[in-house]
Amino acid sequence: MSDSTDSREIRPFRLDVPQDQLDDLARRLAATRWPIDGPVSGWAQGMPREYAHELVEYWREGYDWHA
């Protein structure tokens, strides 16, 4: 049961996002308007702003979209 139509078969996957879309994403991430910190710290009221900011910076500057 290993024919090429077997849905459990692992096959290569390639994602090809045009550079103009990646540039647009980088611009929008850079333009994020960050809220002020609330009165409760930590994760009690959702993702902490500092953590979200680090995550956005990773996607904008650190992640290699072409790898």
Q: CA–CA distance from 5 to each of 8, 26, 31 (Å)?
A: 9, 38, 45
Q: Measured between alpha carbons, how far is 26 from 59 in angstroms, rounded to an integer?
A: 8
pTM given for the model: 0.67
Q: Token pair of 62, please? A: 């650190």
* Domain boundaries of the chain, sorted by first residue: 19-36+43-62
Q: CA–CA distance from 24 to each of 1, 19, 35, 44, 52 (Å)?
A: 45, 9, 22, 32, 19
Instruction: Work out the average pLDDT over 33-55.
Output: 88
* pLDDT tens, residue by residue, 55-66: 999 999 999 988
Number of other residues whose CB lies within 10 A of the CB of residue 31: 7
When pLDDT is cut at 50, 70 and 90, the band that residue 39 belongs to is: confident
